[in-house]
Amino acid sequence: MKSRTPDFPAPLDAEKRKATPPVVCYPVDQLRVAPLELYFRARKNFELVESLEVPAREARTFEIPAGHFFRIVCVDGPQVGDLNLWQAENLQERFYSGKTRALHGTHLSTGDRLWSGFPYLRPLATITADTLDWYGFDEFGAGVHDVIGTRCDPYTSFLSNQTKYHHCCHSNLIRSLALETGLSKAEIEADVHDVLNVFMCTGFLQDTHQYFMKASPVRSGDYLEFFAEVHLLGALSACPGGDCGSEHSSDSSTCYPLRVEHYCPTNDELTKVGCRSPSINGYDRSHGMGN
Ligand SMILES: [Zn+2]
């Protein structure tokens, strides 16, 4: 944290230096913008193909073909979900929450895309509906669906209080991915990555800028919907923090299951325009070293 009593004196022109205007690092209109109107037409009358329940304090994996949609649904009560995404045939290509945050901001909603990491850096999924989009940002500066937090994990808990809790989202995601791939927990741990915090309500304190959470405004029936840009393997953990209004790495919070719904378009809107997965990033990976 920044010190309230800095060690070094401010220079004479400190106010002038601070007054320079901010410049958006990555203007979104320069990115590959999602063809939302096409996706909205494709999702008209789409059909539910499969429904998967994610039990409280557990995670489950799911596969979504490219060109299909999926929803994460709040079913029984306020519950936060931690989402991981991979390109199904290559787990090395996975969701990159840090770059997604740099491109779209701290909290995602309709039209924002979930990008994969280097060297792929392409959209894995695009958000096509968000029933909590009315929330915006509240008086504390908090919003929902953040790409700030990493995921609750047993290592940080151990650092804080020397306890061993095995149902943090990190561990839940490891168990589900190990089951899906048949690989050991040691082999699979590095494939679990920073998440999209679905339904989580978070922000930064105005004085210290520390990351904070508050009770999620999500209610039964709310959902966040995605278009799968590529063939996806996903894993969703129903966070042990429940609505994340108080505690997130223990059994003390009330938790509920979440549901993943897989939808298939029933019209030919996507095939009509020859919609296909975005190609992987065009940079040649020479990094100034030749080929
Ligand atoms: Zn969690």
CA of 244 relative to ligand 1 center, distance in Å = 8
Is 185 within 8 Å of 178 (Cβ atoms)? yes
Average pLDDT for 52-75: 98
Mapped onto helix, strand or coil, the DSSP state of residue 80 is coil
pLDDT band (50, 70, 90) for residue 291: low
Q: What is the mean pLDDT of the chain?
A: 95
Write the CA distances from 244 to 86, 89, 151, integer angstroms.
Answer: 25, 33, 12
Is 222 within 8 Å of 80 (Cβ atoms)? no
How much is the pLDDT for 121?
Answer: 97
How much is the pLDDT for 249?
Answer: 72
CA of 101 relative to ligand 1 center, distance in Å = 19
CA of 54 relative to ligand 1 center, distance in Å = 13
CA of 240 relative to ligand 1 center, distance in Å = 6
Instruction: Find all residues with CB under 8 Å of 288, minimum gap 6, and list them.
Output: none
CA of 29 relative to ligand 1 center, distance in Å = 33
- Rounded to 5°, the CA angle 83-174-243 comes to 45
What are 167's two structure tokens?
Answer: 């149902």
Question: Taking ligand 1, which is a single-atom ion, which protein residues have CB atoms under 5 Å away?
Answer: 82, 152, 169, 239
Query: What's the full length of the chain, in residues?
Result: 291
CA of 200 relative to ligand 1 center, distance in Å = 10
pTM of the model: 0.95
pLDDT tens profile 109-159: 999 999 999 999 999 999 999 999 999 999 999 999 999 989 999 999 899
Reference 142, options 63, 221, 73, 245; nearest CA is 245
How much is the pLDDT for 33?
Answer: 82
Instruction: Find all residues with CB under 8 Å of 180, minimum gap 6, and list them.
Output: 61, 233, 235
Average pLDDT for 87-106: 97
CA of 268 relative to ligand 1 center, distance in Å = 38
Is 125 within 8 Å of 277 (Cβ atoms)? no
Q: How much of the chain, in percent, has pLDDT values that exceed 90?
A: 88
CA of 93 relative to ligand 1 center, distance in Å = 22
pLDDT tens profile 200-250: 999 999 999 999 999 999 999 999 999 999 999 999 999 999 999 987 777
pLDDT band (50, 70, 90) for residue 53: very high
pLDDT tens profile 176-210: 999 999 999 999 999 999 999 999 999 999 999 99
Q: Is 24 left (phi over 0), alpha (psi -120 to 50) or beta?
A: beta
How much is the pLDDT for 55?
Answer: 98
